[in-house]
Amino acid sequence: MFSSTGRLTDLICGNAAANAVWSPRATVQAMLDVEAALARASALHGVIPASAVDSIVAACNADNIDADALMTGAAAGGNLAIPLVKQLTAVVKASDAEAAKYVHWGATSQDIIDTGVVLQLRAALDLLDADLLALSEALVMQAQAHAKTPMIGRTWLQQALPITLGLKFAQWLDAVTRHRERLAELKARALVLQFGGAAGTLASLRDKALPVAKSLAEDLNLQLPALPWHTQRDRVAESASFLGMLTGTLGKIARDISLMMQTELGEVAEPAAAGKGGSSTMPHKRNPVGCAAVLTAATRAPNLVATIFAGMVQEHERALGGWQAEWEALPDLARLTAGALSNILAIVPDMEVNTDRLARNLNVTNGLVLGEAVMLALGDAIGRLEAHKLVEGASKASVANGTSLFDALADNETVTRHLSRDQLKQLLDPANYVGQAQAFVDAAIANSKKQER
């Protein structure tokens, strides 16, 4: 029997559903599902007797497999399929000695392992697909709700110009929309059968090779590739690339949220929940634990992607090391991505927004961040360079005297000659200098909804 116990940290950076997809039992069951489908497809075309199918299919249950013996056998044989087929054959033989002769007919170990991984990958991508849709819907909601909520934009971690919180949500949304597009394209290319026999020719099945392959693909609901791909790992690498990019985007979102959640800013916060985000020693703490888990995944993911990319350089028709390196890297990467996505999805819909702190932080420079708006307005009258020099001087005076930029500008004769006090106030209102933020929010939402159609 298989233990359901994994690493003690599996639910910090993962989630139960994704962990289950890549569990030891699920891995074995996926390979057994391929063996069962192979028996059905082979019998359909007369390669093995139809009478052998029921016994083989009945035996293809992970509960029939001794996990400890499988691990020991894999260490000796170099992969899981060799000892798995040995155990499966013994189980079938116990009930039907004749049927046992036809277990694993015409396939090679890599066919079973790769196709099993594809089945697991399909389940993992389906989980991501559903969560990406949910995240898109949550981001649309937040972008709409805060389309006109002004906040300070930051470049190089310094205050820059006003933006809106809705625009920040829209930027996240637009990236998620592209990932949903990539995922749809990836599924079409990556979810394919691997079935080539010992050297990728299916010579053992003679003239029945292509019909069996077609039926096997149909049985497993996978695409039938033009030819086997034992050492052509671009499909796996593309899957890893997608997972890595998605995790990077989720890390970007988590970085933004955690920075905005710092005590000194206090602009947003992860949703409160019992036992979440506390400190073992400091009762006042409310830590961004969800963001931390996402950032952990984003830190680990690039090296896992790199491992899979490095493994693409393989030898002739069957690999020596590169293929084997995928066995742990791809599941770990998929689990991390799913966990990061579920953590972001747990934050975004109910994220707490402190509009008072957003407004306070926007005005912390006493209007200096709106200097560009005044400069451009004055530039129409006195030229850009002269306007820049004037506003720069007023900004320095504002800092030196501890006054607002409005006060510094309102005392300047050149400014008042061209701009009234009301005009100056309008120019120094952050809500009036967010550019095309609303249009960009609308565009991101429209793109997201187009993807849903």
Tokens of 57: 């299919």
The conformation of residue 368, written as its DSSP 8-state character, comes to G
The conformation of residue 263, written as its DSSP 8-state character, comes to T
Which is it for strands 158-164 and 150-155: parallel, antiparallel or unpaired? Answer: antiparallel
Which is it for strands 352-353 and 268-269: parallel, antiparallel or unpaired? Answer: antiparallel
**Predicted local distance difference test score (pLDDT) of residue 284:** 57
Radius of gyration of the chain, Cα coordinates, nearest whole angstrom = 30
- Residues that are catalytic: 279, 318
pTM: 0.93
**Predicted local distance difference test score (pLDDT) of residue 277:** 56
CATH superfamily of 368-427: Fumarase/aspartase (C-terminal domain) (1.10.40.30)
Within 32-157, strands assigned E span 150-155
Please report where in the chains the tokens 């849903």 appear, as a residue.
Answer: 452
**Predicted local distance difference test score (pLDDT) of residue 451:** 77
The conformation of residue 270, written as its DSSP 8-state character, comes to P
User: What CATH fold (topology level) applies to the domain 1-107+193-228?
Assistant: Fumarase C; Chain B, domain 1 (1.10.275)
**Predicted local distance difference test score (pLDDT) of residue 183:** 98
**What does the pLDDT profile of the chain (453 residues) look like in tens digits?**
555 557 778 888 889 999 999 999 999 999 999 999 999 999 999 999 999 999 999 999 999 999 999 999 999 999 999 999 999 999 999 999 999 999 999 999 999 999 999 999 999 999 999 999 999 999 999 999 999 999 999 999 999 999 999 999 999 999 999 999 999 999 999 999 999 999 999 999 999 999 999 999 999 999 999 999 999 999 999 999 999 999 999 999 999 999 999 999 999 999 987 556 555 555 556 789 999 999 999 999 999 999 999 999 999 999 999 999 999 999 999 999 999 999 999 999 999 999 999 999 999 999 999 999 999 999 999 999 999 999 999 999 999 999 999 999 998 999 999 999 999 999 999 999 999 999 999 999 999 998 776
CB atoms within 10 A of CB 183: 18
Sign of CA dihedral 288, 292, 293, 295: positive
**Predicted local distance difference test score (pLDDT) of residue 320:** 94
CATH superfamily of 118-192+231-362: Fumarase/aspartase (Central domain) (1.20.200.10)
Q: Is 274 helix (H, G, I), strand (E, B) or coil?
A: coil
Q: How far apart are CA 122 and CA 13, in angstroms?
A: 21
Tokens of 37: 């489908």
Q: How far apart are CA 89 and CA 364, in angstroms?
A: 74
What is the SS3 assignment for 159-227? EEEEEEHHHHHHHHHHHHHHHHHHHHHHHHHHCECCCCCCCCCCHHHHHHHHHHHHHHHHHHCCECCCC
Please report where in the chains the tokens 């934050």 appear, as a residue.
Answer: 347
User: What are φ and ψ of residue 178, in 5° steps?
Assistant: -65, -35
Q: How far apart are CA 146 and CA 136, in angstroms?
A: 15
Question: Are 132 and 125 a contacting pair, CB within 8 Å?
Answer: no
* Domain assignments of the chain as residue spans, ordered by start: 1-107+193-228, 118-192+231-362, 368-427
**Predicted local distance difference test score (pLDDT) of residue 230:** 97
| Element holding 136 (H helix, E strand) | helix 109-145
Q: C-alpha distances in angstroms, 89 versus 85, 102, 117, 146, 383?
A: 6, 9, 21, 62, 87
